[in-house]
Amino acid sequence: MSNVPSELKYATTHEWVRNDGNGIVTVGITEHAQELLGDMVFVELPDVDDEIGTGDDVAVAESVKAASDIYAPITGTVVEINEELEDSPELVNSDAYGEGWLFKVKVADESELDSLLDAEGYTASIAE
């Protein structure tokens, strides 16, 4: 069974969201998602200052096996991207919840966090 940290929030499309405080969240893809995709070879990220809306396809995770769209789990503005992934996309595999983070968002409405899944809800969604 994949690791699903209890302190994070999740989208059914396999993104995780960590509330960093001050209206900033960090977004990545779950361990379950990276396991499904296999070895990552390219990660295309949004640009800093991009306005993104929940459900938009904003990034692409491309593995040896397949290219997969990554959807914005929340609405807001991209304030930082993980530039390490340009040269080391495998961080998404080795540390999906840590060094493999994708981008940070200044959220438009923090109450939107409440509509995301908690760890239990996400675990149930991938068990189906």
| First vs last C-alpha separation in the chain | 13
In single-letter form, the type of residue at position 60 comes to: V
User: Interface with other proteins includes 99 (CB under 8 A)?
Assistant: no
For 65-127, the DSSP string reads S-EEEEE-SS-EEEEEE-THHHH-TTHHHH-TTTTT--EEEEES-GGGGGGSB-HHHHHHHHH
- Stretch near other proteins under the rule CB under 8 A, chosen from 3-11, 40-48, 108-116, 120-128: 40-48
Q: Of 56, 62, 95, 112, which lies in the binding site for other proteins, with binding defined by CB under 8 A?
A: 62
Among 13, 93, 123, 125, binds other proteins (CB under 8 A): 93
C-alpha 62/C-alpha 1 separation (Å) is: 23
* Closer by beta carbon to other proteins, 76 or else 100: 100
Q: Is 44 in the site for other proteins (CB under 8 A)?
A: yes
Choose which of 7, 39, 51, 110 interacts with other proteins (CB under 8 A). 39
From the list 41, 79, 108, 126, which residue makes contact with other proteins (rule: CB under 8 A)? Answer: 41
Which one of residues 5, 38, 55, 121 is an interface residue with other proteins (CB under 8 A)? Answer: 38
**Per-residue b/e over 50-64, b at no fewer than 16 CB within 10 Å?**
bebebeeebbebebe
Residues that bind other proteins (CB under 8 A): 38-39, 41-42, 44, 60, 62, 64-67, 90, 93
